Amino acid sequence: MTFPVTRLRRLRYNSVLRQMVTETKLSADDFVMPLFVCSGTNVKNHINSMPGNYQLSVELLVEECKTIYAAGVKSVLLFGIPAHKDEDGSVACEHNGIVQQAIRAIKKELKDLYVIADVCNCEYTTHGHCGTIIDGDVDNDSTLITLAKQSVSLAEAGADMIAPSDMMDGRVGVIRAQLDANGFEKIPIMAYSAKYASGFYGPFREAAESAPKFGNRATYQMNPANSNEAIREVAQDIAEGADIVMVKPALSYLDVIYRVKNEFNMPVAAYNVSGEFSMLKAAAEKGWIDGPRVMMEILTSIKRAGADIIITYHAVEAANILNGKY
Ligand code: PBG
């Protein structure tokens, strides 16, 4: 009979020691909370497929931001639901567009909340695609023009960071150039670099009213089977001037997060998307899993894989747990 000399359990018997050798620690500083802003006043529409999330009109959004900030989450990512849509998403570029209004209102009351503006056309086009349609498909280069305009307009409104989520080729370069030409050289770009054509966006499309009316997004978002291609996408965005690169979704793409972090040593964001959030909520509601516990495990796994920033609808709940408020 031989007994082991090396016993990995030695470091597990005592909870103080377990804490000391914990390799990955989440913090509320890691989180960004996505929010949906809509037109009107006093509007608070519950998003059925995303329990606890709402479409909010501007003044209620500001109130929600106060709660979020008070919970220790210092950044939000804004999505807009405009009153009217058009063919090419020009409504997203208007001085008084819905997100522009929201940013101004937030900055008036909460100047320290870090406001990230999502840049894409799908919430603003009648057809629900992420750009301008020519010959039945999203035209890359004409879409770049509206994306750059939208970005400049959001920066003028006071956005702290621009986050293009459209997956057009060359968008980061064009947006960077237009931001710089308009005096916004200090505004960083967080590029949704490896964004997959994923079924996990289902609940978001209900929330943002952005489902495509025909076809799908496979001609611009990535094939879920590919990770070498993700590396090419990320390299391209970095070359064009991205400051932070994103992998999205997070949970089914932890390998991609890991590869991107190791390959580039760039700040990496991961988007714990709507479907990931809703699956957890549904299973917890049925009593099949322990919701808060699984939430923390998932968020930890995303950070362990290499994400520095986690965009998550769980942000406030998780921050409350981390700050001992539950
Ligand atoms: C817009 C956009 C989407 C998401 C973020 N930005 C949806 C899509 O590409 O269809 C999804 C976020 C989520 O599911 O939480 N392009």
The continuous run of DSSP H or E covering 1 comes out as none
Cα 189 to ligand 1 centre (Å): 17
The CA distance from 36 to 188, in Å, is 22
5 lies in some domain: no
The CA distance from 34 to 224, in Å, is 23
8 lies in some domain: no
Q: Are strands 54-57 and 31-38 parallel, antiparallel or unpaired?
A: parallel
The CA distance from 41 to 56, in Å, is 9
> Are 78 and 117 spatial neighbours (Cβ–Cβ below 8 Å)?
yes
- pLDDT for the residue numbered 206: 87
- Mutation to probe ligand 1, out of 196, 200, 201, 274 (largest number of atoms < 8 A from CB): 201
Closest by CA position to 108, among listed 60, 62, 142: 62
Cα 210 to ligand 1 centre (Å): 8
Atom of ligand 1 nearest to the CA of 221: 9
Query: Strand locations in the chain, DSSP E?
Result: 31-38, 44-46, 54-57, 75-81, 114-119, 133-134, 137-138, 161-164, 190-195, 244-248, 268-272, 309-312
Residue minimizing CA distance to atom 10 of ligand 1: 201
CATH number of domain containing 165: 3.20.20.70
Atom of ligand 1 nearest to the CA of 202: 14
Total count of domains within the chain: 1
> For residues 195-222, b (16+ Cβ closer than 10 Å) or e, as one string?
bbebebbebbbbbbebeeeeeebeebbb
Q: Is 130 in the pocket of ligand 1 (CB under 6 A)?
A: yes
Output the DSSP codes for 223-272: PTT-SHHHHHHHHHHHHHT-SEEEEESSGGGHHHHHHHHHHH---EEEEE
Closest by CA position to 25, among listed 322, 261, 326: 322
Q: Is 50 in the pocket of ligand 1 (CB under 6 A)?
A: no
Domain of residue 270 covers: 25-322
Closest by CA position to 234, among listed 311, 306, 294: 306
3 lies in some domain: no
Cα 261 to ligand 1 centre (Å): 22
- pLDDT for the residue numbered 300: 98
- pLDDT for the residue numbered 326: 66
**Cα 306 to chain center, whole Å?**
16
Cα 211 to ligand 1 centre (Å): 9
238 lies in some domain: yes
Among 74, 85, 149, 195, the active-site one is 195
**Cα 42 to chain center, whole Å?**
25
Among 85, 149, 248, 303, the active-site one is 248
Q: Is 93 in the pocket of ligand 1 (CB under 6 A)?
A: no
Backbone angles phi, psi at 170, to 5 degrees: 85, 5
Atom of ligand 1 nearest to the CA of 274: 15
The single-letter code of the amino acid at 287 is: G
The CA distance from 92 to 86, in Å, is 9
195 part of the active site: yes
11 lies in some domain: no
> Are 244 and 266 spatial neighbours (Cβ–Cβ below 8 Å)?
yes
225 lies in some domain: yes
248 lies in some domain: yes
Q: Is 44 in the pocket of ligand 1 (CB under 6 A)?
A: no
Output the DSSP codes for 71-117: TT--EEEEEEE-SS-BSS-GGGG-TT-HHHHHHHHHHHH-TTSEEEE
Q: Is 196 in the pocket of ligand 1 (CB under 6 A)?
A: no
Closest by CA position to 171, among listed 186, 153, 187, 150: 150
> Are 19 and 12 spatial neighbours (Cβ–Cβ below 8 Å)?
no
Atom of ligand 1 nearest to the CA of 123: 1
253 lies in some domain: yes
- Mutation to probe ligand 1, out of 77, 79, 120 (largest number of atoms < 8 A from CB): 120
Averages of pLDDT over each 10 residues, the chain, 326 residues = 96 98 98 98 97 98 98 98 91 94 98 97 91 91 95 98 96 98 98 98 91 90 98 98 98 98 98 98 98 98 98 98 87
